[in-house]
Amino acid sequence: MKNKKDHFSSIPGIFGVLWRNYEKNPDKLVICVGNEQITYKELVEKGDQIATALYEMGIRKGDRVGILIPNSINWYLFLYGIVRLGAVVVPFDPQIGEHEIKYLFDKIGVRIILVAPKFRGLDHSGIITNLRSELLDLQKIIIDGDCEEDGFHIAFNSLLFCNDTSILNKFHFSMDRENSNIFFCTTGSTGNPKIVDVPCRIIDDNIVRNAVRWGFKNNDRFLLSMPLYHCAGFGWGLSCLSIGGSICYEKIFSPSAFLEQIQQEKVTKILITPTIAKILLTHPKFAVYNLTSLNEVIFTGESLSDELAYKFVDGLNLRVVNALGMTETFVYLDWDSIRDKGVSANNLSQIPMINIKIINKKVQSVSQMKQVSFI
């Protein structure tokens, strides 16, 4: 039988990535959000306290535990506590309303949810409390901070009082590659929200396996403009972590704060959309910021024009990766200014481990492709 360290290192998916990094370099920075940051040692120690509290609340492998707060260190601490038990992480857009909460919580079977006290005028604790009789699986609401505890409402800070985490040593869990690791939910702008079950296999075969392909290195500081609840915001960050790098986010995106963080944190790579790129390039003080630490820009989310791509390639002498993906698979097509030099940024190649086919209206395969362009 494997010892604890070997067993944890071999666990697929999110937990395995974080644990292996903790073993290699516990004092390494995992994530910074604004001015807050945390090391792997702190992540594991505090995450184990959270996992202990969740365990005592009855959470086990396969249970669905939600995160409904904006970008923060607590977001990642809570995520670690969830995956430490083999439970499924369910991040939500912190701007969702009552309709989406009722629909998603019911379909997913959320047992515990972490919410912000208030966010942009939304009182999610109040909304969820009012829906309590309809949300049959929900057992507790955890408030990000302090609150008046009544058995149903629990303060996040009280989770960190679980100093005796020895109970976790008796709890043994294993994960299969096909086990659910994280659910992503769309906002439902075109109808009811979509729920995507991402297994450990997608995490390991795409997000982790292709980290080198996308240029990540263990000394990277990667700043992401997309939020943690979003598949791209979380997935790209985990890809960088899997190679040993560190990740940075803003609490809420601001062009000035984004450029400032590149300068202060000596960020080496950024994840942006073409729209955000235009906002940054036209910032009145863009030329004032020291961005010399940057070596790569990753674009996703929208069609990228050659003109904009080469403003970064030729104008700023940066490597550019243009990635196309969807929640179900993460990235499945990409373009790299180094690998695909002289080729349009819209000529995208399929990445390893992803099989792409052209099908007809009868869902019959008519051909396979190695390269596609946006239509």
Question: What residue numbers bound the domain in which 121 lies?
Answer: 4-195
Residue 373: what pLDDT?
46
User: For the purposes of burial, counting CB atoms within 10 Å of the CB of 4, is it exposed (0-12), middle (13-18) or buried (19 or more)?
Assistant: exposed
**What percent of the chain is predicted at pLDDT more than 70?**
92
Return mean pLDDT, the chain.
92
Write down how long the chain is: 375
* CATH number of the domain where residue 298 is located: 3.40.50.12780
Q: φ and ψ at 373, to 5 degrees? A: -125, 160
Alpha helices in the chain (DSSP H): 4-10, 14-24, 40-56, 73-83, 98-108, 124-130, 156-159, 167-170, 200-202, 231-242, 255-265, 274-281, 306-310
* pLDDT one-digit tens code per residue, 170-221: 888 889 999 999 999 976 556 778 899 999 999 999 999 999 999 999 999 9
| Structural domain includes residue 354 | yes
What angle do the packed helices 73-83 and 40-56 form, to 10 degrees?
A: 60
Distance CA 86, CA 64 (A): 10
Q: Same domain, yes or no, for 219 and 185?
A: no
Residue 356: what pLDDT?
66
| Structural domain includes residue 204 | no
| Structural domain includes residue 338 | yes
Enclosing H/E stretch for 249: strand 246-249
Which of these three, 142, 164, 195, is where a domain ends?
195
Distance CA 172, CA 312 (A): 49
63/145: higher pLDDT? 63
Q: Same domain, yes or no, for 281 and 188?
A: no
| Structural domain includes residue 327 | yes
Predicted model pTM: 0.92
Residue 200: what pLDDT?
97
Question: Which range has the worst mean pLDDT, 128-142, 245-259, 293-307, 353-367?
Answer: 353-367
Residue 1: what pLDDT?
47
* pLDDT one-digit tens code per residue, 20-76: 999 999 999 999 999 999 999 999 999 999 999 999 999 999 999 999 999 999 999
